[in-house]
Amino acid sequence: MSEMSDYLEDELIKHIFRTGSFTKPTVIAMALLTTAAVDGDTGVFTAGTGVEVTNAGAYVRQARNPLDANWSAPSAGNGQTQNVAAITFPQATASWGTVLAMAIVDSATHNAGNMLLHSTVDTSRTIDSGDTAEFAATSITITMA
């Protein structure tokens, strides 16, 4: 996953090359999407191209906040980090539809906040009642390139 949102790109440019400063997010949450996001989307996915799973059927974003215990350290300048532990969503109590993509956002609230990164998933999956969506430990690799 290395598709950075326009929001994050602009904030980093202002922070690194200009006089603005970027405040590190205190929340980093995973959102599941039924259509792929584009760089210009926000965390309010109904306003853009990406569409977040409906806020029903027990779906909630899963937070993995910016902590060393949650994200691996980059090694030898590889520009990568991975989720340290599995990211498990609650068991669905209704259909969530077909998950085609995911996004990392700075809010745990459904359809809120700023999208930071986005990507399609390797294999789309329909989440029906009784199913549990999960990303295994180290299965999410974020690459800064």
For residue 46, pLDDT over 80 is answered with no
Q: Taking Cα atoms as reference points, which of 120, 126, 125 lies closest to residue 140?
A: 120
For residue 47, pLDDT over 70 is answered with no
- Which residue bears the tokens 């359809």? 111
Q: Determine which helix (DSSP H) or strand (DSSP E) holds 92, and give its type and residue range.
A: none
Q: What is the mean pLDDT of residues 69-73?
A: 95
CB 1 within 8 A of CB 39: no
CB 51 within 8 A of CB 85: no
The ranges assigned to domains in the chain are 3-143
For residue 92, pLDDT over 80 is answered with yes
For residue 145, pLDDT over 90 is answered with no
Q: Taking phi first (over 0 means left), then psi (-120 to 50 degrees means alpha), and beta for anything else, what does residue 113 get?
A: left
Q: What is the mean pLDDT of residues 45-51?
A: 80
Buried b (16+ CB within 10 A) or exposed e, 4-20: bbebbeebeeeeeeeee
Percent of the chain with pLDDT over 90: 89
Supply the pLDDT for residue 45: 86
Supply the pLDDT for residue 2: 66
Supply the pLDDT for residue 75: 83
For residue 51, pLDDT over 70 is answered with yes
Supply the pLDDT for residue 17: 95
pTM over 0.75: yes
Supply the pLDDT for residue 98: 96
Using one digit for the tens of pLDDT, what is the confidence trace for 3-39?
999 999 999 999 999 999 999 999 999 999 999 999 9
